[in-house]
């Protein structure tokens, strides 16, 4: 067997494997014996039909296909071992010729990551600030949460809460239908399509109304893009909010109860400050990784991106199944899998690239996660789950659950190390870049 090897971009190796005629003939003979045993050829007992007769009966290509089904995995395995390759997934196989048998195998191998001088990364860090407007908005949201909803007998206005039956159709048929859909009439709300909410203003309770909305040509839902969408809306109930006064009495009603409005504001500010710090840290992580991407060289086979797209696709479809926003549902539901995959590709590329960089940093920095850390994280996660804590604990004591916790902790510790490096003027000693072969 003759093998030639060529490295190509994206961590792939192309093997051209030429198989000796004698070996092909042996494979054909074994294939003939297998097929003869399970094929009934008129005039012959099972297993007794001559090879030439069997080939004429089944077709010449059938015997070759049967032979290659067994032969190709054998020669591929031998070629990979002989060239000391370490595939991370199945190869793409192509038969270049059958006389002689010449096979091309495109083999995905381990990624190559060179981090460069990541120890010299310096990324400025912005403070986490909470504007007064954000505190006021949170207090207003809390006020709305404790509002009393009162049915009213008048025409629909902004800020009303509607309960309505809504269907949407084009000339091709119905694209959306939901009974007892409840939503608040706020400017900018998207109820299936932009512009529909404005048409609901002034409707009266109990009247069934047909409304036409022109969908933009670039609407993500191809079922409605560039078409006239006819809505049939039956307003079943109109309610308005009666907001409570924001004072010390209100503060005593909220949550576990606060002695005064000032105490409630302090808690809101504290919660928002913690949230702002978390958001600022996530943004800082992104900026560090963006800076690292600029100097790092990361090469990986396309199959890793396809795997990540598969994961993202499952996540998106689960989220869509739970989606409460009918507008988003209508826009997303009509996409083909190919359209979904194309949209998710840039995100998948970034996730794979960043995951590989973080894995390499962890390796160079000797960052590890111990069993005790995993146990502590399982307990923290279970405690936060409330009544479901035992189910959560059971889930994360399984091997796959523990592995997910380990990966999460490893990422967290690696990002913390990068923050140490990037946020200090003098920096900290760090390892250099290396290749993962």
Burial class (CB in 10 A: 0-12, 13-18, 19+), 341: middle
pLDDT, residue 325, reads 52
Which tokens go with 21? 């005629």
Q: How far is 125 from 291, CA to CA, in rounded Å?
A: 13
**CA atoms of 177 and 181, how far apart (whole Å):** 9
Contact predicate 49/36, CB 8 Å: yes
CA–CA distance, 283 with 67 (Å, rounded to integer): 57
* pLDDT interval class at 152 (50, 70, 90): very high
Position 428 scores a pLDDT of 42
Whether omega before 89 lies within 30 degrees of 0, making that bond cis, reads: no
pLDDT in tens, 225-277: 889 999 999 999 999 999 999 999 999 999 888 999 999 999 999 999 999 99
- C-alpha distances (whole Å) from 13 to each of 25, 74, 104, 252, 437 are 28, 18, 10, 69, 12
Rounded Cα distance, 381 and 398, in Å: 14
Q: Give the model confidence (pLDDT) of 285-294 as tens digits.
A: 999 999 999 9
Label residue 328 by pLDDT band (50, 70, 90).
low
Integer Cα distance of 307 and 313 in angstroms: 10
DSSP label at residue 147: P
Tokens 């209508």 — which residue?
330
Distance separating alpha carbons of residues 406 and 371, to the nearest angstrom: 9
For residue 431, which of 125, 121, 124 has the smallest C-alpha distance?
121
pLDDT digits (tens, 9 = 90+) for 300-327: 999 999 999 999 988 887 877 765 554 5
| Residue range 354-412, pLDDT digits in tens | 999 999 999 999 999 999 999 999 889 888 888 888 888 888 888 998 999 999 999 99
Q: Report the number of secondary-structure helices (H) and strands (E) in the chain.
A: 13, 11
- For 160-252, strand residue ranges (E) read 161-170, 173-184, 208-214, 228-242
Rounded CA-CA distance 117/429 in Å is 11
97's CB contacts (< 8 A; 6+ apart) are none
**Percentage of the chain exceeding pLDDT 90:** 60
Looking at residue 173, what DSSP letter applies? E
Cα–Cα nearest to 305, from 11, 6, 35 = 11
Residue with tokens 């069997």: 54
Averaged pLDDT for residues 21-43? 82
| DSSP 8-state secondary structure symbol assigned to residue 43 | T
Q: Give the chain's mean pLDDT.
A: 88
**Domains of the chain with CATH codes:** 2-109 (3.30.70.1050), 148-242 (3.10.50.30), 262-423 (1.10.3120.10)
Residue 204 has pLDDT above 70, yes or no: yes
Task: Assign 3-state DSSP to the chain and report helix, strand, coil percentages, each to 5.
Answer: 50, 20, 30
12: left (phi over 0), alpha (psi -120 to 50) or beta: beta
The per-residue pLDDT for range 88-131, each reduced to its tens digit, is 999 999 999 988 999 999 999 999 999 999 999 999 999 999 99
Query: Cα–Cα distance between 332 and 343 in angstroms, integer?
Result: 11
């Amino acid at each position: 067997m003759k093998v030639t090897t060529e490295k190509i971009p994206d961590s792939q190796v192309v093997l051209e494997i030429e198989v000796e005629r004698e070996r092909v003939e042996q494979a054909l003979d074994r294939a003939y014996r297998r097929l003869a045993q399970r094929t009934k050829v008129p005039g012959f007992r099972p297993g007794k039909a001559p090879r030439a007769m069997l080939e004429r009966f089944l077709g010449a290509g059938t015997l070759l296909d049967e032979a290659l089904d067994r032969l190709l995995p054998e020669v591929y395995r031998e070629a990979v071992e002989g060239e000391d390759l370490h595939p991370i997934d199945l190869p793409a196989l192509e038969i270049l010729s059958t006389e002689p048998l010449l096979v091309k195998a495109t083999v995905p191998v381990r990624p190559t990551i060179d981090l460069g001088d990541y120890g010299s990364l310096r990324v400025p860090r912005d403070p986490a600030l909470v504007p007064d407007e954000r505190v006021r908005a949170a207090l207003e949201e809390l006020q709305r949460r404790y509002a009393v909803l009162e049915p009213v007998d008048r025409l629909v206005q902004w800020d009303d809460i509607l309960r309505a039956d809504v269907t949407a159709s084009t000339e091709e048929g119905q694209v959306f239908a939901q009974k007892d859909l409840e939503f608040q009439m706020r400017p900018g709300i998207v109820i299936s399509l932009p512009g529909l909410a404005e048409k609901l203003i002034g409707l009266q309770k109990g009247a069934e109304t047909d409304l036409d909305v022109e969908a933009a040509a670039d609407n993500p839902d191809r079922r409605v893009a560039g078409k006239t969408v006819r809505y049939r809306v039956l307003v079943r109930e109109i309610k308005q909010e009666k907001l409570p006064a924001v004072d010390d009495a209100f503060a005593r009603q909220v949550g576990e109860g606060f002695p005064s409005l000032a105490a409630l504001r302090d808690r809101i500010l504290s919660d928002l400050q913690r949230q702002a710090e978390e958001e600022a840290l996530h943004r800082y992580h992104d900026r560090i990784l963006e800076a690292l991407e600029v100097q790092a060289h990361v090469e990986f086979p396309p199959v890793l991106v396809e795997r990540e797209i598969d994961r993202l696709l499952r996540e998106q479809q689960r989220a869509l199944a739970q989606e409460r926003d009918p507008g988003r549902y209508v826009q997303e539901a009509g996409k083909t899998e190919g359209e979904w995959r194309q949209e998710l590709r840039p995100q998948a590329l970034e996730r794979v690239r960043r995951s590989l960089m973080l894995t390499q940093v962890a390796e160079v920095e000797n960052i590890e996660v111990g069993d005790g850390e995993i146990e502590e994280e399982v307990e923290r996660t279970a405690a936060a789950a409330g009544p479901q804590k035992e189910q959560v604990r059971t889930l994360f004591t399984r091997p796959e659950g523990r592995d997910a916790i380990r990966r999460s902790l490893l990422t967290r510790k690696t990002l913390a190390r990068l923050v140490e490096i990037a946020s200090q003027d003098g920096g900290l000693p760090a390892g250099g870049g290396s290749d993962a072969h």
